[in-house]
Structure formats: C-alpha cells, structure tokens
Amino acid sequence: MPPAHTAPPRIVWLLGPALVAGVAYLDPGNVASNMTAGAQYGYLLVWVVLAGNVMAWLIQYLSAKLGVVTGRSLPEMLGTRLRRPWARRAYWLQAELVAMATDLAEIIGGAVALNLLFDVPLLLGGLITGAVSMILLAVQSRRGARPFEFVIIGLMLIITVGFVAGVFVAPPDPAGVVGGIVPRFEGTGSVLLAASILGATIMPHAIYAHSSLARDRFGATSARGDVEAERTGAARIRRLLAATRWDVSIAMVIAGSVNLAILLLAAANLAGVEGTDTLEGAHAALADGLGPVVATFFAVGLLASGLASTSVGAYAGAEIMQGLLHVRIPLLARRLVTLIPALVILGIGVDPTLALVLSQVVLSFGIPFALIPLVALTAQKRLLGPWANRVWTTTAGAVASVLLIVLNGALLWLVLTGA
C-alpha cells in the first residue's frame, strides 16, 4: 500500500514561540513603568507604548525569521562572527548585564505580588518566585518546547485578565487617550519614563530568546540537495514564516493591549493620588478607588507576570552564554546563580518599584547591541537567501534603531546635566 498522505500541520499548531517571547513584554518592569507613567503624567506617554509595540512587532518577527530560516539563534550567529575572544566576552558581558537587569525586575515583581496577596516578606517572596521559575524551567528542559509554551501561554492569559479587568470597571477618558497619541515630552522625568517603557517593551533578551525559541521549535529548515528537496524546504520555510507572522501579531496585540491598559488604568484612576509611584501604593489606591476585587486581579496578574517572565529570561540568559562563550550551564544551575542579585536587593531594603524602573532603563541601553546586528544579519542574502529583508524592512529596522539610540542618548544627557 502507498504511504498515507500526512497533511501539513495547521497554522494554529505552529503558533507558540512568539507568545512565549511576548511574555517578556508583560514583565513586572512593564507594570512599574506604565503604572508610574500613567500616575505621574496621565495620558502623555500613550504614544510611547503604541510606537514601542509597532517597533516590537518588526523586531520580533526578524528574530524569529533568523531562527526559522537558518536554524541558529542570534547569539550563535554573533558567536561565530566575533572572532576575537575579547570581543565575544565584552559583548557577552553587556548582554549578561541586561539579562541580570531583566531577572531583577521579574523576581522583585513576583515578590511584591506575593506580599500584596499573602503578606509574604519580600525576601521569602523572591525565593518562592525563583523556586517556581525553576519548576517551569524543568518543564522546558525535560519535556521540550511545546509543554513549556502551553504553561507560559496559560500564565499570559492570567496576566491579561489581571491587568485589563480594571479598565472595564473604570474606563479611561477617550479624549485623553486621543491626546496622548501626539508625541511629546514634559521634562526629564517623562523622558526617563519613556526610555523605561521602551526598555520594557523592546527587550534585548526577548530578541535573543525569540530566535532560540524558533530554532528549538522548528530546527534548521533550509533544504539543500536535489531540486525536489529544495522545493520542499522552500515551501516549509514559507509556511513557517506565515505562521510566524500570525504568531508575532497575536503576541504583540496582547502585549500592547495589556501595556496600554496598565497605563490607562493609572491615568484614569491614580493621577494625583499620593503614593501611586510604587506598586504597593498603586495596589492600595486601586483597592480604595475600584474595590478589592480589581486590586486582587492586579496582584494576581503581577504574580503571573513575574513567574512567566523570569522563566523566559533565564532561558534567554543561558542561550546568550552558550552562543557567545560556547559554554552551556544547566538552566537550573544558572537560575540559582542569577537569583542572587535580586535577593540581595530585596534583602537590603531597596525600594522595589525604583529598582524595577531603573532596571528597565538598563534594558533600554542594551537594545542597540541586539537590534543592530539583528537587522544587519537578516538583510544578508548570502545568509537568508530569498528570505532576506526587503529594502523597506531594513529601512524600518534602521529607523527604529536610530530612534531608540537617540532617545537613550537624550536621556543620558538630560540625567547627567540635570536639565
């Protein structure tokens, strides 16, 4: 009998990597940055959230495309192109600092959420968050990519409900939202928060991780050899890239909507309320103004955010080390080591919300180091062949890179000069 025809998988079964990477856009640093921006400046920075989300779509698609077409991650590509050991180590160091800043935000966010929900001390909450993230990483290590994706996507649904519920209870002012679409700043503080929002929206570790997630899920897809093999390989890549565009679009719509909802919730309900520049104060203000149910939803969303995003961050950090230093440390061992800075911050009593916002600023400075190589590599026809970027795609990526670098430079100048 002839072999039974096996239909190609439906696009829905090819979704997942972008949704996992998209959790990075919903981490506690996002909550702190967007909540603080809304409470302090109202609807002023709505445009930053929207612009960041548009740029994030392009960037995450390029990252996934690199992994799908080449079967290699961005850190692996950089590790082979940076031939001098000192260059690889320097590049790894900045990427590692960014990954540590990410982990700091996520562990602290989980600790704050446990404190709000169950009055757990912050240090113990950090340990619990780290322990749960180790369980999630064990799922990825032992069961593979697909079960890990299901767990993270489940947490993403909890995050979405937790953070969006309040907007339906107390809707924002439509005129204020429309006014916030016009790009503008009001002093150094708004520039600082804009950089913080972009650092939380376009996260370097998400750029590194997405190419790795696509590689792990789909493997190398380029086919070489006879004409039929090449035709089959090209068809498979085309199908995977079509699924990837849907995957990235769904992930970015969810992430953008949640981030915007957080800012609008604060702008509509927390503007002028004292103490809302901290997560604890924002939670208390939500409880007073909108009731304990909305405040509980917020805290549950924050907890799910910390648990999901810290797992993805640890995965990204391991891939960065492997790709650039050619050293692979078991995920669980790395998780233990990277817990230390966050636990130290919690132990010495640094204000959690301040640490979260500053961590996002650190992330924003790591963006060019991930973004510029990504745009350059995906534009190379000798690397991606017919799947290389079109001119307009490379131009859009270059414009996004320049805008982000200029904003970060302006931020540094304003902070150093006190302007």
Question: What's the CATH code of the domain at 300?
Answer: 1.20.1740.10
75 within some domain: yes
2 within some domain: no
More reliable by pLDDT, 225 or 126: 126
Q: How many residues does the chain have?
A: 419
End-to-end CA distance of the chain: 79
407 within some domain: yes
Q: To 5 degrees, how large is the angle CA 152–CA 153–CA 158?
A: 95
Look at residue 366 in the predicted model and tell me its pLDDT. 81
Q: Is the pLDDT of residue 152 over 50?
A: yes
Tokens of 177: 């939202």
- Give the whole-angstrom CA distance, residue 103 versus residue 82: 26
Total domain count, the chain: 1
- Give the whole-angstrom CA distance, residue 141 versus residue 94: 26
76 within some domain: yes
The three state secondary structure string of 318-385 is HHHHHHHHCCCCCHHHHHHHHHHHHHHHHHHCCCHHHHHHHHHHHHHHHHHHHHHHHHHHHCCHHHHH
Residues of the domain holding 395: 11-417
More reliable by pLDDT, 29 or 4: 29
pLDDT tens digit string along 191-211?
A: 878 877 876 677 888 899 999
Look at residue 129 in the predicted model and tell me its pLDDT. 92
Q: Is the pLDDT of residue 353 over 90?
A: no
- Radius of gyration, alpha carbons of the chain: 21
Residue (of 393, 61, 69) closest to 207 by Cα position: 61
pLDDT tens digit string along 209-267?
A: 999 999 888 865 443 444 444 556 788 899 899 999 999 999 999 999 999 999 999 99
pTM to 2 decimal places: 0.88
Q: Is the pLDDT of residue 106 over 90?
A: no
Residue (of 204, 187, 198) closest to 361 by Cα position: 198
Strand, helix or coil for residue 2: coil
164 within some domain: yes
Look at residue 220 in the predicted model and tell me its pLDDT. 52
141 within some domain: yes
CA 225 to chain centre: 38
